[in-house]
């Protein structure tokens, strides 16, 4: 018997459709149109694709989308001035600065210049602090989406042994915190973990966010575990000379082998990736409701 493949695209479509319904209620009942401002600096091709998709999905949900495309030689102060303007713009409820930024810009200073109430990525130090202390802040989109998928799959997560591989500020750490908030027993593994295989073998819930293709072997997965593969790795395909280089995407988990042991697993592509934008839209609605002091419409 093989495990179930969790359909992230279908999950994301449901999130987006729920968000669109919330937006139409907000417009009708309170004349509020949630607005998301996205800042992109430079020409990084992957970032360009992400921003195009975010813009398209924001508009499709009936929200306002404000795109700010900046030259990669923009100064720190110019970027901070733009963020300050957006912080005070009442039509903008969410602000997102697409990462990575060019090296001579101070990423932390820029993220922390965004008003915490409008920080829909949930990366501001105040929002990280609120997450760590059980407060009501903005929660990072990817880990929040993973929790939503896990809840949809498993119902209550209470008492499960959860392992998170990776401890970045944007995925691993908030993911571990959210699993802890769901009453899981949480272990965080990283580059210095002595025996990764044996740590992974203990997981009822396994979330992997490292950026190393197929680091986690299928044989390490506990029978019946639920596996969320956050990794997105671009692998060069064999391409005939003279043709444009082609790539395939793969995750951090050996997918086919993992299917033999896991009860359910997210694929790459088509798992966590599409769902992240869905949560970003939901976070923008949450931010708009909080800023206008109205209850979030229930769908
Ligand atoms: P980072 O590079 O910031 O963090 C990677 C983490 O993995 C680090 O904590 C690192 O450990 C750990 N790690 C690296 N190698 C190993 C190893 N051999 N054994 C154990 N742990 C290891 O990456 P991100 O968290 O930003 O992203 C992780 C992956 O998720 C990437 O592939 C990224 O593209 C993807 N991603 C996908 C998103 C989506 O929407 N689907 C959103 C965000 C990210 P240490 O701290 O010890 O160095």
Q: Determine whether the shortest distance from the Cβ of 42 to ligand 1 is under 6 A.
A: no
Task: Set out the domains of the chain in order of their start, with CATH numbers.
Answer: 31-119 (3.40.50.10860), 141-273 (3.40.50.720)
Give pLDDT tens digits for 133-175. 999 999 999 999 999 999 999 999 999 999 999 999 999 999 9
Question: Mean pLDDT of residues grouped by 10 in the chain (299 residues)?
Answer: 93 97 98 98 88 94 97 96 98 96 96 98 98 97 98 98 98 98 98 98 98 98 98 92 91 98 97 94 98 97
Compute, in angstroms, the gap from residue 239 CA to the centroid of ligand 1: 28
Q: How far apart are CA 269 and CA 154, in angstroms?
A: 22
Any idea which residue has 């493949």 for tokens?
A: 5
pLDDT tens, position by position, 242-268: 998 999 999 999 999 999 999 999 999
If one counts every other C-beta atom within 10 angstroms of the C-beta of residue 119, the result is 26
Distance 60 CA to ligand 1 centre (A): 31
* 152, 176 contact by CB (below 8 A): no
Q: DSSP secondary structure string, 201-264?
A: HT-SEEEE----TT-B-GGGSPTT-EEEE---EEEEPP--TTSPP-EEEE-SB-HHHHHTT-SE
Catalytic residue among 54, 118, 173, 222: 54
pLDDT of res. 230: 98
Residue 98 and residue 40 in contact, taking contact as beta carbons nearer than 8 Å: yes
């Amino acid at each position: 018997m093989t495990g179930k493949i969790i359909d992230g695209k279908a999950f994301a479509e449901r999130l987006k459709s729920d968000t669109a319904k919330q937006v139409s209620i907000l417009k009708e009942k309170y004349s509020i149109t949630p607005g998301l401002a996205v800042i992109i600096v430079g020409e990084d091709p992957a970032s360009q694709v992400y921003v195009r998709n975010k813009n398209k999905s924001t508009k499709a949900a009936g929200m306002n989308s404000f795109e700010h495309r900046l030259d990669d030689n923009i100064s720190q102060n110019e970027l901070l001035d733009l963020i300050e303007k957006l912080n005070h713009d009442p039509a903008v409820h969410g602000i997102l600065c697409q990462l990575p930024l060019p090296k001579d810009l101070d990423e932390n200073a820029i993220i922390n210049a965004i008003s915490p109430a409008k920080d829909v990525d949930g990366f501001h130090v105040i929002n990280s602090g609120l997450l760590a202390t059980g407060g009501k802040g903005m929660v990072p989109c990817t880990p929040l989406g993973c929790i939503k998928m896990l809840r949809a799959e498993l119902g209550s997560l209470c008492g499960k042994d959860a392992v998170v591989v990776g401890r970045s500020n944007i995925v691993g750490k908030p993911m571990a915190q959210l699993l802890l908030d769901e009453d899981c027993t949480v272990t965080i593994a990283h580059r210095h973990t002595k025996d990764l295989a044996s740590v992974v073998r203990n997981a009822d819930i396994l979330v992997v966010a490292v950026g190393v293709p197929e680091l986690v072997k299928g044989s390490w997965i506990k029978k019946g575990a639920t596996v969320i593969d956050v990794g997105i790795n671009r692998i060069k395909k064999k391409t005939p000379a003279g043709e444009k280089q082609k790539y395939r995407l793969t995750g951090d988990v050996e997918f086919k082998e993992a299917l033999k042991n896991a009860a359910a697993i997210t694929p790459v592509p088509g798992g966590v990736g599409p769902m992240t934008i869905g949560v970003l839209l939901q976070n923008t609605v949450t931010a708009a409701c909080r800023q206008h002091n109205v209850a979030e419409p229930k769908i």
